[in-house]
A and B are shown apart, each in its own frame.
Chain A
Amino acid sequence: MTEPSHSWDTPTAEWATRPGRATVTVPSSGEHLLDVRDLRVEFATRDGVARVVDGVSFHVDPGETLAILGESGSGKSVTAQAVMGILDTPPAAVRGGQVLFAGEDLLAVPAERRRQVRGQEIAMVFQDALSALNPVFPVGWQITEALRARKGVSKAEARRRAVELMSMVQIPAAAQRVDDYPHQFSGGMRQRVMIAMALAMRPKVLIADEPTTALDVTVQAQIMDLLAELRAELDMALILITHDLGVVADVADRITVMYAGRIVEHADVHTLYAAPAHPYTRGLLASIPRLDHRGHGLRSITGSPPSPLAVPHGCPFHPRCPYAQQVCRMTAPPLLRIGRLDRASACHFPPEALDARPI
């Protein structure tokens, strides 16, 4: 690698002041169905305070799929749990930001209102269906538990609705299986039960946290198809939390990439894969083997993701970044808009400058 030129080392001022490249901490105008702004979550641990989510903003609208992509420790699941309001506090604490659902800040409303929204308006599907389901109750009973508790639906009516929901998620012979227990279902069918349960109250936002990670590839395809169908059919907003770049390419409309508790890039799906802006996104895409062609060497990202207790100073990615310069060690780059609306990258250097410096 050649010695960096002076102009390379200090391009920030120029690139930030270019027209149309304002810092985007607050999303664009207009009200979104779910609008998360500058969310901050900390965990108090024995070894100190871990800033697990550090200024995360995103939004979703009905009928849209947003993917939050990140590796373990990136803060993607904690973000989802904070939106859902199911964080264990303590050790976790929401330190700032807003979670606006239809304009109402869920972080500011009384606990009673929060409870109404959770499950009814925003529902969640978890990764491990076997441990998320109660082994000692029939699945039909579990699917409609919320309906009975909240809507006072009668037992007979609840049973009818359970069968209906199970058919909606394409569980064969739903009427016969409504009284079966979780262990009598395969992994894929259990995940369908979880989805049916989440849909019981007809939520407007569905958060799916790694819904297919524990499943085989053929079953994974079925579940992703089902989620996409249901999203369109029920006009839901779907937030997909995942680490899988393949799944994301298949179903997402927009993508938010997280690293060390921060958003490093967001873009629509086509732009992200065709022209990733942030060095981390570029590295991730270069490091995955492809089914459709072999031969090219994998370019791995060196090092490993930082512990949330010791996030590097400056840009959190700089120790692993092949483009890192002095400025990256000193200052954390803000999320800067690139060109069009709703595309941004948290890097000191614009994508064109990175392109000019092959690694």
Chain B
Amino acid sequence: MPGPSEPPTRAPHAEPVLRVENAVKHFPITRGMVFPKKVGAVKAVDGVSFELRPGETLGLVGESGCGKSTLAKLLMGLEKPTAGRAYLKGHDIFRMRAGDLRRLRRTMQMVMQDPYTSLNPRMTVADIVGEPFDIHPEAAPKGSRATAVRDLLVQVGLAPEHANRYPHQFSGGQRQRIGIARALALRPEVIICDEPVSALDVSIQAQVVTLLERLRDELGLAYVFIAHDLSVVRHISDRVAVMYLGRIVETGAADEVYLRPTHPYTQALLSAVPVPDPTARSRRRVIRLTGDVPSPADPPSGCRFRTRCWKAQPRCAAEEPPLSLRAAAPHPSACHYAELHRVVA
């Protein structure tokens, strides 16, 4: 556990290993079958910037439709960005030629949400975990592959003899360990975890979270940890970014954002999380949001949260609040009227 004595790998002031600047992804909406005409765009990710330092975990939270998974896909090159830049170790991966990108991809890997559909049922565990070596033969010389796979399995808490089995012979938690072993195969520096524990049972979630923490500390990995479970994110993250309708609305050190939230959306989100403590019932004040998240095809003018915000003023419709430092707390918040409101006891 990273306690008061932080492991040496997590240097807070080191050069960022990943820097994203103003990432944008718009999905076009088209009309007409024969001559499709663009009539609009779903603004899934609309100007997101963040930095990730070596050995650090950035938690990305938000409700469904806020763009957090699209952002993960952009970073992994699974979607083409509409605009923006993303520097992985100083190289812009949004503008890179395919061959160069492939070489650089070793540095950044991904763990998927669903351990049932993200593993090919016809491949053995050894094939799944060793497949990255087919694309990057330089990572493991021909003769040493079997050993490398076995070492990876041990590293994630599986047994070497599991190598010859098939995914269906494993439980959900074990499958997620296989997915993690595959992500580790090329010795990356950054791992994008897209909801890595949300498909797992409660008693298994803790096992996988603990494993991810141990690997981070042992290997000096940096994580972008995407999840909708705010309790898990608080547990694992050093820093947190809260997303709403394709934008980051508040970001900062995890304790800062959880204990001193200044954006109304963050406050509402945190207040709604049920705490596993019945004595907290009387203390809890859930901020009830009215209405639903607006369509990302037609986001509100000005502040995107204003349609559901209890503090909205005419200024909020006219002027978009930038994500900047506010007087209320020493971390960036995108609210004109940012003020401290503690919601987590």
A interface residues (Cβ-Cβ under 8 A, vs B)? 71-72, 186, 188-189, 216-218, 220-222, 224-225, 243-250, 269-270, 273-274, 283-285, 287-292, 294-295, 297-302, 304-305
Partner of A292, one of B228, B236, B345: B345
In chain B, what residue has the closest Cβ to A283?
B203
Mask: chain B, 148-184; 1 = CB below 8 Å from A; 0 = not: 0000000000000000000000011110000000000
In Å, the complex CA distance between A299 and B206 comes to 7
Q: Is B138 an interface residue (CB 8 A)?
A: no
| Contact between chains at A301 and B203 (CB < 8 Å) | yes
Contacts A216-B228, A218-B63 given; indicate if A288 touches B276 (C-beta within 8 A). Answer: yes
Instruction: Give the contacting residue for B272; candidates A218, A249, A297, A304; CB below 8 A.
Output: A218
Contact indicator B203/A305 (Cβ below 8 Å): yes
| Interface hub of B173, B272, B276 (most chain A Cβ within 10 A) | B276
In this complex, the member of A221, A245, A287 whose beta carbon has the largest number of chain B beta carbons within 10 angstroms is A221
B202, B207, B209, B286 — which one has the most chain A CB atoms within 10 A of its CB? B202
- When C-beta atoms are compared, the residue in chain B nearest to A71 turns out to be B201
B231 interface residue (CB < 8 Å to A): yes
Residues on A with C-beta less than 8 A from B230 are 217, 291
- Docked-complex contact B273 and A246, CB < 8 angstroms: yes
- Find B235's partner among A216, A274, A294 (CB 8 Å cutoff): A294
A-side contacts of B236, CB under 8 Å? 289
Is B125 close to A, CB under 8 A? no
Chain A neighbourhood of B174, CB < 8 A:
304
Whole-angstrom CA separation of A299 from B254 in the bound complex: 21
Residues of B within 8 A of A292 (CB): 275, 277, 280, 344-345
Tell me whether A289 and B232 are in contact (CB under 8 A): yes
Complex interface: chain B residues within 8 A of A220 (CB): 272, 274
> Once the chains bind, are B286 and A225 in contact (CB under 8 Å)?
yes
Name B's interface SS. Answer: helix
Known: A218-B272, A246-B276, A285-B276. 7 other contacts (CB 8 A): A71-B202, A189-B292, A220-B274, A288-B206, A290-B235, A291-B231, A298-B206
For A248, the chain B residues whose CB sits under 8 A away are 276
B234–A71 contact, CB under 8 A? no
Can you show 8 pairs from A to B with CB atoms below 8 A apart? A71-B202, A216-B64, A220-B272, A248-B276, A270-B279, A292-B275, A292-B280, A305-B203
Which B residues, 126 to 154, have Cβ-Cβ distances below 8 Å to chain A?
none
A76 to chain B, nearest CB (A): 12
Complex: A274 Cα to B255 Cα, angstroms: 26
Task: Give chain A residues whose Cβ lies under 8 Å from the Cβ of B276.
Answer: 245-246, 248-249, 273, 285, 288, 290
Interchain CA distance A284-B344 in the complex, whole Å: 22
Contact of B269 with A217 in the complex, beta carbons under 8 Å: yes
Partner pick for A289 among B64, B204, B234, B289, CB 8 A cutoff: B234
* B288 at the A interface (CB under 8 A): yes
The answer to whether B272 touches A300 (Cβ under 8 A) is no
Please, how many angstroms separate the alpha-carbon atoms of A14 and B268 in the complex?
Answer: 52
Residue pair A246, B274 in contact (C-beta under 8 Å): yes
A287 with B205: in contact, given A220-B272, A221-B274, A221-B288 (CB under 8 Å)? yes
Given contact pairs A216-B228, A291-B344, A294-B255, A300 touches B201 in the complex (Cβ within 8 A): no
Q: Which residue of A is nearest B273, CB measured? A: A291
Whether the pair A284, B274 counts as a contact (CB closer than 8 A) is no
In the complex, chain B residues whose CB is within 8 Å of the CB of A269: 278
Pick from A72, A300, A302, A305 the residue with the most CB of B within 10 Å: A300
B210 touches A300 (CB 8 A): yes
Cα A287 to Cα B204 with chains together (Å): 9
The number of residues on chain B lying at the interface, defined by a beta carbon within 8 Å of a beta carbon of chain A, is: 47
- Residues of the A chain whose Cβ atoms lie less than 8 Å from the Cβ of B203: 71, 283-284, 287, 300-301, 304-305
Asked if B223 CB lies within 8 Å of chain A CBs, one says no
B103 contacts the other chain (CB 8 A): no
A175 to B117, CA, bound (A): 42
| B1 touches A (CB below 8 Å) | yes
Q: Chain B residue with minimal CB distance to A244?
A: B274
User: Are B202's CB and A291's CB within 8 A?
Assistant: no
Question: Which residue of B3, B258, B279, B292 is within 8 Å of A291 (Cβ)?
Answer: B258
A269, B275: Cα distance in complex, Å: 13
A298 contact set on B, CB distance < 8 A: 206, 209-210, 235
CB contact list, B34-77 vs A, under 8 A: 63-64
Query: A217–B231 contact, CB under 8 A?
Result: no
Q: Does chain A have a CB within 8 A of B97?
A: no
Q: Decide if B190 is an interface residue (CB 8 Å cutoff).
A: no
- Per the bound structure, the CA–CA distance linking A247 and B278 in Å amounts to 10
User: Bound complex: CA of A283 vs CA of B209, how far in Å?
Assistant: 15
- List residues of chain B with CB within 8 A of the CB of A217: 63, 228, 230, 269, 272-273
Asked whether A300 and B273 contact (CB < 8 A) given A216-B64, A218-B63, A221-B286, the answer is no
In the bound assembly, the distance between CA atoms of A71 and B292 in angstroms comes to: 30
By a CB distance below 8 angstroms, the chain A residues around B249 are none
Find residues 233-255 in chain B having any chain A CB closer than 8 Å to their own CB.
234-236, 254-255
* Distance (whole angstroms) from the CB of B105 to the closest CB of chain A: 31
A289→B209 contact, CB < 8 A:
yes
B193 within 8 A of A: no
Partner of B274, one of A186, A188, A247: A247
Q: How far apart are the CA atoms of A225 and B345 in the complex, in Å?
A: 20
A224 to B288, CA, bound (A): 12
Kindly state the separation between the CA atoms of A300 and B201 in the bound complex, as whole angstroms.
Answer: 11
Distance from A332 Cβ to chain B, minimum over Cβ atoms (Å): 20
- What is the CA–CA distance of A130 and B234 in the complex, to the nearest angstrom? 31
